[in-house]
């Protein structure tokens, strides 16, 4: 990075690229503007509208899961040969979305990309909620979810232990570690802001609740020093973790011998896909939120454009993954692999495959144009298309490989039922419900970090001699 680039990351940027924070803000104004969203007495009517829709959708999930517990997984479209249906498709989709938060928070922090500051908090929240949605699916897919704790190693009277050679057990460790570390990262980042809310809250309940959550944070220089050390170390730990999680998820497939799954390209291509869909989800949420809450000063076009660029790059890596997958299926000379790819492109699920190529590869090429990248409406539409495309990708990977594998006599078709759809749509409801609660009760932008990127935060002792 050249000094000029570094300079452009600072708040006081000149011409050309839009700044990461609009000029004219002070410590006080940044604090007031962000904390007012939470502490303001009146909840916007739009919030209630959105929350109620999300809450209703979440109840669809509750009904679907209740019925599942009563009847069993037979209410879903899964069968033999397609034993992995929507549950796994949705699990991989949600966990992929959950990757952007940690990527933005940890990797961009280590790379000193200050533009991450105004989007990291809600990207981390989004990660947590997405991981929560993801976690539901493997548990309910076990068939007897009340025994899901058997996946963890604990001394038991049966004398049995988990099979540690299985990627499914690796997955339990990877996802639960990821959920825990993401929660820690998010909470540590929140502590100084919770102290701000404690000090600024007008209501006694607010003061007590935020005060307890802030744990008595008082901004001491010694505390800040350890805090920053802890935050950087967490970022350093979360960086290999985020890469490992989707790698382990891809092992669930790649370690199997099913054609279309048994591929060494899966880990890197899954990680790229996860970042791709994660950034698409951050954009899907950031664009309406900044408009509704009037946060254009803090989440500027610069942020949106940078995220669009990350999407473009990871989208191209994903495109490379698809290409190599198809190439190796032909070049490898394995007739099962070859048939799998031919079946994907021309078989019964071909329309889904081509729709996926269209959503993930063709349409996002519009992001090469700066005009598209800085047009919020176009960006929003492309982000939604990528979200859909990434879901279709997981559907294709799971279903087309299973439904026609080695023996034609055991071929079959997979058709999701209404309960599959209800559970999936329901988790979107859960995700949005949690997101609305977060927007209402916690600062969606890190106040302390925003103060630190203001020009006046730079200490220059020569200016003041006592």
* Segment 425 to 464, residues that bind other proteins, using CB under 8 A: 448-449, 451-452, 456-461, 463-464
Helix (H) or strand (E) holding 46: helix 45-71
Give CA–CA dist 113/6, Å, rounded.
9
Q: Which is nearer to other proteins, 12 or 309 (CB)?
A: 12
Smallest distance from other proteins to CB 272, Å: 20
Angle at 117 between CA 114 and CA 118, to 5 degrees: 135
Question: Residues 101-140: x/- map of binding to other proteins (CB under 8 A)?
Answer: ----------------------------------------
| Least distance from other proteins to the Cβ atom of residue 245, Å | 9
For other proteins, the binding residue among 13, 27, 365, 374 (CB under 8 A) is 27
The smaller minimum CB distance to other proteins, of residues 67 and 173, is found at 173
Nearest CB to other proteins, comparing residues 183 and 378 = 183
DSSP annotation of 42: S
- Stretch of 23-31, 107-115, 126-134, 279-287 lying at the interface with other proteins (CB under 8 A): 23-31
DSSP states along 108-145: HHHTT-GGGHHHHHHHHHHHHHHHHHHHHHHHHHTS-G
Q: Which residues contact 442 (CB under 8 A, 6 or more apart)?
A: 38, 125, 190, 193
Q: What is residue 18's DSSP assignment?
A: P
Q: Quick one: CA dihedral 398, 400, 401, 403, positive or negative?
A: positive
DSSP 10: S
Q: Which of 6, 23, 26, 74 binds other proteins (CB under 8 A)?
A: 26
How far apart CA 32 and CA 432 sit, in angstroms, is 26
How many residues of this chain interact with other proteins, rule: CB under 8 A?
71
In angstroms, what is the minimal distance from the CB of 408 to other proteins?
Answer: 27
- Find the shortest distance in angstroms from Cβ 455 to other proteins: 11
Nearest-approach distance from CB 98 to other proteins, in angstroms: 16
Both tokens of 193, joined, read 């802001």
Rule CB under 8 A: which of 188-207 touch other proteins?
188, 192, 195-196, 198-200
- Are the beta carbons of 139 and 148 closer than 8 angstroms? yes
Binding of residue 221 to other proteins (CB under 8 A):
yes
- Per-residue binding letters, 147-176, with other proteins (x by CB under 8 A): ------x-----xxxxxxx-x-xx--xx--
Q: Is 14 exposed, middle or buried (0-12, 13-18, 19+ CB in 10 A)?
A: exposed
Long-range contacts, stretch 261-265, CB < 8 angstroms, 24+ apart = 261/397, 261/401, 263/325, 263/328, 265/321, 265/324, 265/325, 265/328
CB of 220 to other proteins, least distance (A): 5
* Closer to other proteins by Cβ: residue 5 or 460: 460
- Between 28 and 333, whose beta carbon lies closer to other proteins? 28
């Amino acid at each position: 990075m050249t000094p000029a680039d570094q300079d452009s990351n600072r708040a006081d940027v000149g011409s050309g690229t839009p700044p990461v924070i609009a000029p004219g803000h002070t410590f006080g104004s940044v604090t007031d503007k962000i904390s007012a969203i939470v502490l303001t007495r009146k909840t916007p009517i739009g919030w209630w509208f959105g929350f109620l829709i999300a809450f209703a959708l979440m109840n669809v999930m509750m009904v679907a899961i209740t019925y599942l517990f009563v009847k069993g997984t037979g209410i879903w479209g899964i069968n033999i040969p397609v034993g992995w249906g929507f549950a796994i498709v949705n699990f991989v989709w949600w966990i992929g979305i959950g990757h952007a938060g940690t990527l933005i928070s940890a990797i961009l922090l280590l790379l000193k990309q200050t533009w991450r500051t105004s989007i990291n908090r809600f990207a981390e929240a989004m990660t947590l909620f997405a991981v929560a949605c993801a976690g539901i699916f493997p548990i309910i897919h076990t068939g007897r979810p009340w025994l899901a704790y058997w996946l963890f190693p604990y001394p038991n009277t049966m004398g049995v232990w988990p099979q540690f050679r299985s990627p499914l057990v690796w997955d339990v460790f990877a996802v639960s570690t990821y959920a825990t570390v993401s929660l820690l990262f998010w909470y540590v980042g929140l502590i100084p802001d919770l102290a701000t809310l404690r000090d600024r809250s007008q209501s006694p309940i607010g003061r007590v609740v935020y005060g307890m959550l802030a744990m008595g944070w008082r901004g001491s220089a010694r505390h800040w020093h350890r805090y920053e050390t802890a935050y950087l170390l967490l970022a350093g730990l979360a960086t290999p973790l985020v890469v490992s999680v989707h790698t382990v998820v891809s092992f669930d497939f790649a370690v199997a011998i099913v054609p279309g799954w048994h591929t060494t390209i899966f880990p890197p291509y899954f990680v790229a896909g996860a970042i791709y869909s994660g950034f698409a989800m951050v954009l899907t949420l950031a664009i309406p939120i900044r408009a509704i809450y009037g946060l254009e000063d803090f989440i500027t076009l610069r942020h949106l454009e940078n995220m669009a660029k990350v999407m473009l790059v990871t989208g191209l890596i994903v495109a490379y993954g698809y290409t190599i997958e198809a190439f190796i299926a032909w070049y490898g000379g394995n007739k099962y692999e070859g048939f799998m790819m031919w079946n994907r492109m021309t078989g019964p699920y071909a329309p889904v495959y081509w729709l996926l190529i269209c959503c993930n590869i063709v349409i996002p090429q519009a992001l090469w144009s700066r005009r598209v990248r800085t047009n919020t409406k176009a960006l929003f539409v492309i982000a939604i298309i990528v979200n859909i495309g990434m879901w279709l990708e997981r559907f294709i990977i799971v279903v087309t490989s299973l439904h026609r594998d080695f023996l034609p006599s055991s071929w079959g078709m997979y058709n999701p039922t209404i309960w599959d759809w209800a559970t999936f749509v329901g988790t979107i409801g859960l995700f949005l419900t949690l997101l609305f609660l977060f927007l209402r009760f916690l600062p969606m932008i890190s106040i302390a970090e925003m103060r630190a990127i203001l020009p006046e935060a730079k200490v220059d002792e020569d200016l003041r001699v006592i």
